Amino acid sequence: MRRVIIAFTLLLPAMAFAASGGVKLQHADNDVSDKASLQAGAKLFVNYCMGCHSAQYVRFSRIGKDLGLSDDELIENLMFSTEKVGETMTIAMDPDDAKRWFGVTPPDLSVIARARGVDWLYTYLLTFYLDPSRPWGVNNLVFKDVGMPHVLWEKQGWQKPVYETKTDDEGKSHEVIKSLELVDSADEAKSEQYKKDMRDLVNFLDYMGEPAKLERQSLGWKVMLFLFVFLIFAYLLKKEYWRDVH
């Protein structure tokens, strides 16, 4: 049994590698207890993603409560149409129209962080590159032939692939993408800010996937504290009982 577990543990990184199509994932290093980051991520989400993606299991009021925003701040910063704070993050786009425009309906993103993992999402948002053969002129390193346009190109700039030649087991050589580089080197100045923005956005997606995570973490500490106090009383009680015995 132990050997099976060890073998499985050794295989895990390889499995993650396979899931990303052979591309090394970059670390999101996000922190769901960082409220400023979650607020920034929420803003990016409503501005850049909710044109096409809903988050229909998430209520604005819940976000307000968890991220420390009043109803007025919510309405001003995150809500642009007529939704009431108690409503969920649905969108106006008709799924049939979406299918016609994109070939696929943009999926609901409420639990995407659980389905894909934060590192995959972070890498996905960082690795759109120019590919004239695709309908939107872009492709993605971890999502081959993706149907989503690079909606954040203004923030990141355009990237182009740098190729290298690799020889496979049968001796045939292939052109494979080695890395991506910015088309306009002036965009390099934006790169750190873009990474920070994507970390915030992924952080928000992570939070949405499990809003209870924040609560669970603080509850965890309370439970530990309770158990500790309980231990002291249990010890005193034990001493009390055994005094007569000795």
Chain residues that interact with ligand HEC, rule: CB under 6 A: 48-49, 51-53, 102, 104, 106-107, 109, 112, 116, 121, 124, 146-149, 151-152, 201
Residue 64 or 117 having the CB closest to ligand HEC: 117
Distance between start and end Cα atoms, the chain: 47
**How many Cβ atoms from other residues are within 10 Å of residue 143's Cβ?**
18
Question: Which secondary structure element, helix H or strand E, spans residue 224, and what is its range?
Answer: helix 212-245
User: Smallest distance, Å, CB 149 to ligand HEC?
Assistant: 5
By beta-carbon proximity to ligand HEC, the closer residue of 81 and 173 is 81
CB of 33 to ligand HEC, least distance (A): 21
Closer residue to ligand HEC (CB): 72 or 97: 97
Q: Which is nearer to ligand HEC, 71 or 134 (CB)?
A: 134
Tell me whether strands 88-89 and 138-140 are parallel, antiparallel or unpaired. Answer: unpaired
Largest CA distance in the chain: 87
**Crossing angle of the two packed helices 35-44 and 191-209, in degrees rounded to 10:** 100
Q: How far is the CB of 198 from ligand HEC (least distance, A)?
A: 9
**Cβ 166 to ligand HEC shortest distance, Å:** 26
Distance CA 126, CA 142 (A): 10
Reduce the DSSP state of residue 179 to 3 states and report it: strand
